[in-house]
Structure formats: structure tokens, C-alpha cells
Structure 1
Amino acid sequence: MKKKIAIIMGGYSSEYEISLKSGNVVYQYLDTDKYEAYRIHILKDKWVYVDDHNMEHPINRNDFSVKIDAKYIQFDCVFNAIHGSPGEDGLMQAYFELLDIPQTSCDYYQSALTFNKRDLLSVLKPYGIPCAESYYLNFGDLIDEDAIAKKVGLPCFVKANKAGSSFGITKVYEKKDLKPAIANAYKEDDEIIIEAFLDGTEVSVGVIKYQGETKVLPITEIITENDFFDYEAKYEGKSKEITPARISEEQERKVSEMARRAYDILKMTGYSRSEFIFVSDTPYMLEMNTTPGLTEQSILPQQAGVAGISLSQLFESAIDEALAKKG
């Protein structure tokens, strides 16, 4: 019998449109001989199943079921394609754990931790994983430009602590521009991380569970036409993503080991895509994404393709891993 798969997409953050694209790609590539796939839009004002005629059917949040033509559908597994809240910050993971429904991303604790840039880097730093010098602010804190510049130097990056797709990020060159950048970051989150600028080669490393084993995918080098790898560079063609990256064997070994080590330290499952910048031969971790983009053009699917893994195989393996976890 075919497994019923709910592909959740959308979400409550600025990334919802990107998530809808990812979710539709998963829907397109899942093997219809093995799965009955259902596109579930999780939005602030509604949770609905969207059928092939774009008709909407409300989701019963008590048990995550849907009524179609007087028949109630229960799902065997949830494929998580939500970028940002509530799919990447642990909320949906905890909800599905309470309902005892398998889902493809990491568990709720790992999801919440990795979504919080400050907490993630604080946890990994004692394990010898380097990260940039940083300064923290919460909404309402006094903004001391001199203290910020002294701690992290200029230029620096002002980032929303819990946001993705480069929303709420500004590269700041002068102290007078710190407050506008901080105000921009507060539009996305009430916590901010301000990091020192690291001048070097930026790479992205995918680590996944594939056919029961942890696998580091071929590394992607990121070259942006813009000042940094911002939204425009990521999604509007203002960057080059070169896989495999043009780095030395030693650099490849170091960053692969570091990405895998972070994955293991955090007891991760599902997909992860970690960003690093090389300063000389040392990789500095910037962040880890646990629901990365899944379109044909996204970095993780590109890496999987170079590794000889098709999108269908990539998505099917995630479902198999989720079902196996439940036992």
C-alpha cells in the first residue's frame, strides 16, 4: 500500500514563498508508485491541503488529518519543507512528536538550537569549531556603537538571530550605519547577532542521512556579485555556486570533517547545510540550516546531484529515515 505523505510548506516567516517552491519540487519528484503526496500549506491564517485543482481542504489540527469527500485522511509521514518558523525552529517537530507522526527533519531540540545562531555557535565553540567574534543585542538594549566596533571591528555583519535566506542582514562599514542596520534586523527578530567580517572563501557543506548512513555531500563554493551572499544573490541570480568547490584537498578535508563533526555533536538527523568561511586554511562556521532549499537550483540538491543522488532518491531517503526512526 502506498504511504500517505504530507508535504508541509509555507510557514510564518518572510521565507514562505521560497518554502512553497521547495515543497512543490518535493511534490513533483516523489515517486507516485510508492507515495500518495499531499501539499499542505501551513500559513498564519490557515492550515490547508491544496489539491491538484487548487481547492483548499482544512487540516484538523487536533490530529493533523484532512477530510476529503467525506473520507478522513491520516498521514504516514510528514515531509518538512518549511523554511523559518514554525518548520525550522522546532515548533512543528514538537507538534508531530506529540502526535506520533514521523517527519523528515531533525528533532525539535536540534531544530530550535540550530535556528538560533547565537545558541548554535555557543554550543559548538567548546568543541573546537571556530566562529567569528560576535556581539549580542536584544530588543530594547542600549546600542553602544563604540563597544560594538571595539568588539567585532568594521566592517561587520548585523544579523537577525533567528531568520533565514539573509533576511535582516546588513554589512556595515561605518559606526553611523549600525543603528539603521540594527533596526532592519529587528524587523525579523527581537534578538541580534553582530559578527566580525571574515575575509575569505565562503563554502556550503551539506550533511545528510542517506540510506542509513551520515554522508557529507560535495562542497559548494559561493561567489557573489553583491557585497555578500544576500537574498538577491541567493535567489535572483547574483551569485555563482560552484560544486565541487575550488579549494585545496586540505581545506576540503578540514571543512568536511568539521561539518560532519557538528552534525554528530548535535545528534542531527535529516538534512543539514552548514556555511563556512575560510580564513587561510581554517574554516569558520557561520550557521547551520536544517530545512535548506529544495528546488532544482538550490545548493543541497546541486550537491546531491554531483554525488550521483537524484532528487527522487534524496527525498525518498529522507522519508525512509523518518519512518525507520519511528520503528
Structure 2
Amino acid sequence: MKNVAIIMGGYSSEYKISLTSGNVVYTYLDKTKFSPYRIHLFKDKWVCVTDDEQEYPINKNDFSVTIGTEKITFDVVFNAIHGTPGEDGLMQAYFELLGIPQTSCDYYQAALTFNKRDLLSVLKPYGIKTATSFYLNQGDVLHPNQIIEKVGLPCFVKPNKSGSSFGISKVKTIEELLPAIETAYKEDNEIIIESFLDGMEVSVGVINYKGKITVLPITEIVSENDFFDYEAKYLGKSSEITPARISEDLRLKIETVAKRAYEVLKMKGFTRSEFIIVDGEPHMLEMNTIPGLTTESILPQQAREAGISLADLFENAIELALAK
């Protein structure tokens, strides 16, 4: 049986969500086919956590663990870390150096998609539409009028590299701009300020399923809050409707754009991209390469709708990683 290291936790504000995702993978993975191990990665410790909640340190030289007298090495890594170091390319590069296959995309794709500004810049020449944006780096001189002139009001101020809507603000007046920028800088030293796109928000999962790039049923996001923020994502302040209430033509258009982005970027594993539909045209906001994998998360909902169980979804990811 293959030993599977399920890595979870991480160094960002998203670590709690990642622990939930990782535990779901551990629960649903077929134990007759795989020997899964829960690996918690935090800044101060990398440990293997056993069923009786004992912790055994990971040897970072070869990513092994010694439990009792037995040294355990891993055939494959299931990456369930949202944010750094699992979603930004660091772990991908580390495992590539060690020669251990892992379930997410490669390190370049991870670093690129984790950087919202760079991702959208790379996709633009392929005809993928985006919001009008303004970039700031910490220390830049601020000219609020110049920013508003370009992106208009309302607008969104976002950390460039963070997930789960941490640090995002919707700005309705020029007076709200500077406090929103301060909030975003708490999460990242780079900021993206985007024009408000007035339209339906949809979330689109694209996976490689049994060797074929597959767009999962599209989810429509109806947030009770002002936008799809942390509360809407995780505290039930939104409705997620799968499949989305859209026409066949629009569905095909969104699927085409989502699949093109996956192919252009030479993606592997799971992705979940967010789009706003404005006048029948999908505008991409971002792409996540380690989307939430809890039973309530959007990608597992979409897989269920497509007739793919969680056990199948996770096993497929491992089989594809091992086949690389």
C-alpha cells in the first residue's frame, strides 16, 4: 500500500480551514488502498499526528518520520494547505527537489496563481477578461484621487497574495480608501485595487479527472454580505447554488474560459476560479490551486453534482500524482 502524507496547516491566516480540509481527506481516503498520515506543518514545527493525537517530528532532509523504531517515507503527498507554504510554490519546489510526487500543480504555476496581479496579467493576452485594476506596494506614495479616477467607486481593495477573503474591503467612498489599504497591508505588502464588477458571481472547479481536463458543474454565489467575504464563505452568510441558474450558452462560455485558463497555465490537480459575469461575459477574479476540501466546500459540492464522491475525488488526485 502506498504511504500518503496529507499535509495541512500552513503559515497563513487560513491554517484552521486547511486543518479541516486535511482531516476530510484523511477521513474519506480509502484505507484499503492507501496508508494516509496526517502531517501538520507550522512555522515552529512539522509533525506527524497519529490517531491518538501523538506528535512525531518530520525529518525535513528527506520528509520522513520515525514512529517508534520504524522510519516511514512517503510515496506521494496530498497537499491540503491553503496559503503559504502549500499554495504559493514553496512546498511544490521542496517536493520536486526530494523527488516526491504531490497532488497540486507545479511550483511555478502555484507561485503565479497565488499572485493575483501576475496571474491576471498572464491570462489577459489569451482573451480572458478581468476588472480594471491599480497596483500598490507597501511604501508607495498614495494618491487617492488618482486611484479612484482609474478604478471608480465602489472598488475592492485586496491583498495580492492571500486567500479566504482575509484583508479584503469594499470601498464606497474616497474616505474609506486609506483605512482599506491599511487593512490589506496587514496581510501582504502588495495590494491590488479593482473596479467593482456588477454581475453574478460564479465559482468554477476544473480538475484533471482520469486524465481528462474536466470542468465541474458551475456554482452561483449569492452572498448575504456586501461581497463573498470570510463570513459568507465559512459562516453560512451565503447561498451556493450548484448548478448555477444560467443559460446553456452562458454555461458553455464560462466552461470554455475556465478550461482555457487551466490549459494555458499547464495546470495539474484541482483549481477553482472565481468569475463575475458582466453583460454575459465572464471576468476572472482569481484562481485557487488548493481550494477548500471540506464536505461543505464548493469544489466537493461540484464534484458531488458531477457524480464524483469525495473518496473518488481524492483517490483520482493521488493516482494522477503517482502517474506523473
TM-score bracket for this pair, using the shorter chain length? over 0.9
**2-side partners of 1:169 and 1:14: how far apart?**
13
* Deviation string, structure 1 residues 5-44 (Cα, Å, up to 9, x no partner): 0000000000000000000000000000001000000001
Give the Cα–Cα distance (whole angstroms) in 1 for the partners of residues 136 and 29 of structure 2.
Answer: 43
Q: Paired residue for 2:91?
A: 92
User: Is 1:296 aligned to residue 298 of structure 2?
Assistant: no
What one-letter code is carried by the residue in structure 1 that aligns with 2:174? K
**DSSP 3-state at the match of 2:130:** coil
Q: In 2, Cα distance between the equivalents of 1:249 and 1:128? A: 21
Q: What letter is aligned with 2:276? A: I
Q: Distance in 1 between matches of 2:148 and 2:310?
A: 45
Deviation at 1:235, TM superposition (A): 0.2
Q: For the residues of structure 1 that align with 2:6 and 2:224, how far apart are their CA atoms?
A: 34
Query: In structure 2, what is the equivalent of residue 123 of structure 1?
Result: 122
Q: Within 1, Cα distance between the matches of 2:299 and 2:142?
A: 37
Aligned mates of 1:123, 1:185 — CA distance in 2: 23
2:66 aligned residue? 67
Structure 2: which amino acid aligns with 1:91?
Answer: L
Q: Look up the match of 1:149.
A: 148
Q: Hey, what's the Cα distance between the residues in 1 that align with 2:320 and 2:257?
A: 23
1:282 maps onto 2:265 in alignment: no
State the match for 2:268 in structure 1.
269
Code of the residue aligned with 1:197 in structure 2: it is F
Gaps of 5+ in 2: none
Structure 2 equivalent of residue 248 of structure 1: 247
> 2-side partners of 1:74 and 1:316: how far apart?
19
CA distance in 2, matches of 1:144, 1:79: 45
Q: Whole-Å Cα distance in 2 between the matches of residues 182 and 284 of structure 1?
A: 23
TM-score of the superposed pair, with normalisation by structure 2: 1.00
Equivalent AA in structure 2 for residue 259 of structure 1 = A
Give, in whole Å, the separation in 2 of the partners of 1:221 and 1:124.
23
Query: 1:121-200 counterparts in 2 under 5 A?
Result: 121-200=120-199
Other structure's SS at 1:199 match: coil
SS in 2 for 1:154: coil
How far does residue 280 in structure 1 lie from its aligned partner after superposition?
A: 1.3
- Cα distance in 1 for residues equivalent to 2:208 and 2:140: 41
The one-letter code matched in structure 2 to 1:104 is T
- How far apart, CA to CA, are the structure 1 residues paired with 2:143 and 2:175? 11
Question: What RMSD over aligned residues (CA atoms) do the two structures have, in Å?
Answer: 0.4
How many residues in Structure 1 have an aligned counterpart in Structure 2? 324
**Cα deviation, residue 122, structure 1:** 0.1
Which secondary structure does the structure 1 equivalent of 2:261 belong to?
helix
Mapped to 2, the partners of 1:184 and 1:176 lie a distance apart of 14
Q: How far does residue 127 in structure 1 lie from its aligned partner after superposition? A: 0.6
TM-score, normalised via structure 1 length? 0.99
User: What residue ranges of structure 1 are gaps of 5+ in the alignment?
Assistant: none
Residue 279 of structure 1 and its aligned partner are, at CA, apart by 0.4
The share of aligned pairs that are identical, in percent, is 71
Shift of 1:249: 1.1
Shift of 1:70: 1.2
1:53 Cα shift? Answer: 0.6
Question: How far, CA to CA, are the matches of 1:140 and 1:3 in structure 2?
Answer: 49
Instruction: Tell me what 2:50 maps to.
Output: 51
Matched residue of 1:37: which SS? strand
1:7 and 2:6 matched: yes
Cα distance in 2 for residues equivalent to 1:75 and 1:195: 42
Report the equivalent of 1:233.
232
SS of structure 1 residue aligned to 2:147:
helix
| Cα shift at 1:251 | 1.0
Distance in 2 separating the partners of 1:36 and 1:249: 42
